[in-house]
Amino acid sequence: MTRAFPISLRALRAGAVRAGALGLLLVGLASAAPLKLSNLPVTVEPSAKLLTLTPAGIRSAFPSAAGRPGAVFMTEDRKVSVALEWRTGKLAPNEVEKLVAQFPTVIRAQVPGVKALKANLVQLGGKPWAQFIFTTPGQGDDLRRELLMTSAGGRILVMTIAGNVRDYSRNETLIRSFASSVRVN
């Protein structure tokens, strides 16, 4: 029996964060000691090459409180975003691996025009994460989305990496390094 996981993909359909209008709502992260995110059970390694949306910027980019991430980071060129959201939906640590088999059906049902979809189980910060990388048609270039999900305090922690294929490729080293630095507290 397939279990439904309460993950909304509306924000993915809308594309990457509208960074142009949010220029004043971004602040840089200094490269320093690990940073504990106050509203998420997560610690990240800051990077001088990543910007972070302020709470006002997050509210502006994600007007609906439903599905609003707790933290959003962006590349300096504002082309690729990394959003972290701690969902209220339940997810036990032993269920993460099950997502790899079950969640692609949810993605295909909720996201129109999925061209390619890969699902894997990866290790980040010593924890298993279900990873889903998919592309959809975009104007001039395909849109690339990566969902990473794990259990944090019995709830679903989602990391969404969004951008178009070319911009992601240009920023891949930075994004991979940041994603690898995420530690669940």
- The residue-averaged pLDDT of 92-97 equals 95
- Cα separation, 29 vs 88, in Å, equals 28
pLDDT classification of 20: cutoffs 50, 70, 90: very low
- Answer whether residue 107 is part of any domain: yes
pLDDT band at 2 (very low <50, low <70, confident <90, very high): very low
Average pLDDT of the residues in 142-167: 96
Give pLDDT tens digits for 36-68.
887 899 999 878 899 989 889 899 988 988 889
164 within domain boundaries: yes
pLDDT of residue 29: 53
Sign of the torsion angle spanned by Cα atoms 96, 100, 101, 105: positive
**Burial (Cβ within 10 Å: 0-12, 13-18, ≥19) of residue 45:** middle
Is 2 domain-assigned?
A: no
> Within a 13 Å sphere around the CA of 34, how many CA atoms are in the beta-carbon half?
11
Q: How far apart are CA 91 and CA 112, in angstroms?
A: 26
pLDDT number for residue 87: 93
Decide if pLDDT at 173 tops 70.
Answer: yes
* Number of structural domains in the chain: 1
What is the pTM (predicted TM-score) of this model?
0.83
Write the pLDDT tens digit of every residue in 101-140: 999 999 999 999 999 999 999 999 899 999 999 999 999 9
4 domain-assigned: no
Any domain includes 5: no
What's the confidence (pLDDT) of residue 28? 55
CATH at residue 87: 3.40.1000.10
| pLDDT averaged over every residue in the chain | 85
Which pLDDT score is estimated for 114? 96
3 inside domain: no
Instruction: Return d(Cα 161, Cα 70) in angstroms, integer.
Output: 14
Domain extent for 72: 10-184
Cα-Cα-Cα-Cα dihedral sign, residues 29, 31, 36, 40: positive
